Chains A and B, each alone.
Chain A
């Protein structure tokens, strides 16, 4: 069933996937300094969010990006998605520089971004019909059905998003992103808005789906356990401004993985401790700089 869905563009069980190369990417959010915003005291300074990011991602790897809040993870993901442009540097997929969003990259949004006026089936079909307009309507529906099945939403096809729980909505979001058979799947804190139980359940689902599809995935997360359960590589970022990549960890656990037995692997605890140390150090530094800034403003 799943193989037939993928065979849309490929032939093997493993779907087409390409090398992703991020080369010297930096991003500056330019401040407002025209006379009007100065006069109204709304002028802002330039903000260097990312500084010289270099990252090579092999095909069929699951990469997590973790870092303190506000360091620029979403900025980086949006640049890869093509939704925003880097100030300098290039992103290349399979050696070709990207300049705009495209269906070779599927995006899963934190707020689900489902169209409220479309049913579950229509939301997924909309994506398929947009990317493959020449496919017959019956074929489009069949593919949509396969992905609905893949994410375990059978029976909910005719429901509208407002009739779904958060977890079900994100299943639709994942199915929609996968249904266009992208080379790279981009997910920005896809489970951030879900409760702990649903979150764990969906992580297991993503692990299961990944075992079947083995796409290149870039996942932004705040959860160390989530990163360890799902990733081949974990990219740790420093705090902003001028956020950089601090370190890339290899996650050597064999697959398929199960959350219950994961911590029995000898490397688990040291990896976890290293990530915790990094995150707490960066987060503390962010807090301290904030406190100093407020003190400076007050005095």
Chain B
């Protein structure tokens, strides 16, 4: 903002000279302003349903939740920070369990054509199933809502990581393998020093997709399983008809998902060493 202000002041005849980023930012502000304006006016004029709060009320409530995220007045009255952390802990735990299954299995089927073909029908059939379909099964088997949530998240996290790991391991550049063959490297050394580092970018991109989907699923799982977490909060606030809290939760969930994705994006660049995927 600053650097654009100076030339404008110095040369009043000249028009705004903004770069793409600045233009995009201004447009972003414009769109945001329009949405808030229509929302505010619409809510006041009664264009929407009775339940719909005004933009200003929502922003006020949003700020109230954000400015004090870590209060705790009992199980049904906790700050949004605690709610997020509860869900995040579940997602990370379930994701860790899922990845601990998916990565070794992916390596195995990536290395062995026979195992790959044998396991493929299972993967092909189970992969397209919505993770929530597993939920009743989890409840029935585990008889515990907390374990069921972890179970659903773990199942969710398996598929993208499994498939990407398999692809990365079975598509290692032939010339790397030729190098290790000419050196007479053992199978174990080839696996640990060449195949896994070469597959790492694919594995991480699988993990990135997995955690994205796991974060999508946790909200639904918590709504169904209940008890605690941001998903349960959304459902609870709907029962209290507090739409402002729901909108706040939606924004916070979105930001958290974005952060998780960026984190794995960084990890991806870190293991890629200039290779393009």
Residues of A at the B interface (CB closer than 8 Å) are: 81-83, 100-103, 105-107, 109, 111, 113, 115-117, 126-127, 130-131, 160-163, 176, 180
Instruction: With both chains docked as a complex, state the minimum distance between the C-beta of A62 and any C-beta of chain B, in angstroms.
Output: 20
Nearest to B275 among chain A residues (CB) is A116
B191 within 8 A of A: no
When distances are taken between beta carbons in the complex, the residues of chain A under 8 Å from B183 are 101, 103, 126-127, 130-131, 180
Give Cα A26–Cα B273 distance, bound, in whole angstroms: 41
Does the CB pair B273–A160 fall under 8 Å?
Answer: yes
**Minimum distance in angstroms from B274 CB to a CB of chain A:** 3
Would you call B178 an interface residue if the criterion is a C-beta within 8 Å of the partner chain's C-beta atoms? yes
Looking at the complex, which one of A101, A117, A126, A161 makes contact with B182 (CB distance below 8 Å)?
A101
Report the bound CA distance from A103 to B179 in whole Å: 10
Residues of B within 8 A of A180 (CB): 183
B178 touches A126 (CB 8 A): no
Q: Contact between B175 and A130 (Cβ–Cβ < 8 Å)?
A: no
Whether the pair A109, B178 counts as a contact (CB closer than 8 A) is: yes
Query: Main SS of the interface on chain B?
Result: helix
Q: Give B contacts to A, CB under 8 Å.
A: 173, 175-176, 178-185, 189, 193-194, 197-198, 200, 271, 273-275
In Å, the complex CA distance between A288 and B30 comes to 66
**A103/B182 in contact, CB under 8 A:** yes
Known contacts A107-B182, A131-B184; A113 and B175 CB within 8 A of each other: yes
* A-B pairs with beta carbons under 8 Å apart, 11 shown: A81-B182, A100-B181, A101-B183, A115-B198, A130-B180, A130-B185, A160-B273, A161-B273, A161-B274, A162-B275, A176-B179
Say yes or no: A117 contacts B197, CB within 8 Å: yes
State whether A116 touches B178 (Cβ < 8 A). no
B198 contacts across to A, CB distance below 8 A: 115, 117
- Tell me if B182 and A106 are in contact (CB < 8 A): yes
CA distance A90 to B182 in the complex (A): 18
Quick one: closest B residue to A163, CB to CB? B274
**Across the interface, do B274 and A160 meet the contact criterion of CB distance under 8 Å?**
yes
Give the 7 A-B residue pairs with the shortest CB-CB distance, closest first: A162-B274, A113-B175, A116-B273, A130-B183, A117-B197, A101-B182, A101-B181
CB distance from A98 to the nearest CB of B (A): 12
Q: Is the CB of A109 within 8 A of B181?
A: no
Number of A-B contacts (CB under 8 A): 65
State whether B197 touches A101 (Cβ < 8 A).
Answer: no
**Does B274 lie within 8 Å of A116, measured CB to CB?**
yes
* Inter-chain contacts of B182 with A (CB < 8 A): 81-83, 101-103, 105-107
The answer, among A103, A113, A163, for a CB contact under 8 Å with B176, is A113
Q: Given contacts A102-B184, A117-B271, A162-B274, is CB(A109)–CB(B179) below 8 Å? A: yes
Residues of B contacting A102 with CB < 8 Å?
Answer: 182, 184
Contact of B184 among A83, A101, A113, A162 (CB under 8 A): A101
Distance between Cα atoms of A83 and B178 in the complex (Å): 7
CB distance from A222 to the nearest CB of B (A): 20
Chain A residue contacts of B193, Cβ below 8 A: 126
Q: How far is the CB of A119 from chain B (nearest CB, A)?
A: 10
Q: How far is the CB of B109 from chain A (nearest CB, A)?
A: 23
In the assembled complex, which residues on chain A have CB atoms less than 8 Å from the CB atom of B181? 82-83, 100-101
Contact call B179/A113, Cβ cutoff below 8 A: yes
Contact of A113 among B178, B185, B200, B273 (CB under 8 A): B178
Q: Are A115 and B197 CB-contacts (below 8 A) given A103-B184, A160-B274?
A: yes
Residues of A within 8 A of B194 (CB): 115
Cα separation A82 to B179 with both chains bound (whole Å): 12
Give the distance in Å from the alpha carbon of A83 to the alpha carbon of B183 in the complex: 11
A117 partner, pick from B178, B179, B184, B273, beta carbons under 8 A:
B273
Cα(A109)–Cα(B181), bound, Å = 13
**Complex Cα gap A115–B180 (Å):** 10
Q: B173 to chain A: which residues have CB within 8 Å?
A: 113
**Nearest Cβ on chain A to B189's Cβ, whole angstroms:** 6
| Set of chain B residues within 8 Å of A100, measured between Cβ atoms | 181
Given A107-B179, A115-B194, 18 further pairs, Cβ under 8 A:
A81-B182, A100-B181, A102-B182, A103-B183, A106-B182, A109-B175, A109-B178, A111-B175, A115-B176, A115-B197, A116-B274, A116-B275, A117-B273, A126-B193, A161-B273, A162-B273, A162-B274, A176-B179
**Which residues of A lie under 8 Å from residue B275 when comparing CB positions?**
116, 162
Residue of A at shortest CB range from B273?
Answer: A116
In the bound assembly, the distance between CA atoms of A213 and B274 in angstroms comes to: 34
Q: Which residues of B contact A111 (CB under 8 A)?
A: 175
Residue of B nearest to A81 (CB): B182
* The one of A103, A107, A130, A161 that contacts B189, using a Cβ cutoff of 8 Å: A130
Q: Smallest CB-CB separation from B175: which chain A residue?
A: A113
| Known contacts A117-B197, A130-B189: A107-B178 contact under CB 8 Å | yes
A82 contacts across to B, CB distance below 8 A: 181-182
Q: Could you tell me the distance between the alpha carbons of A102 and B180 in the complex, rounded to whole angstroms? A: 10
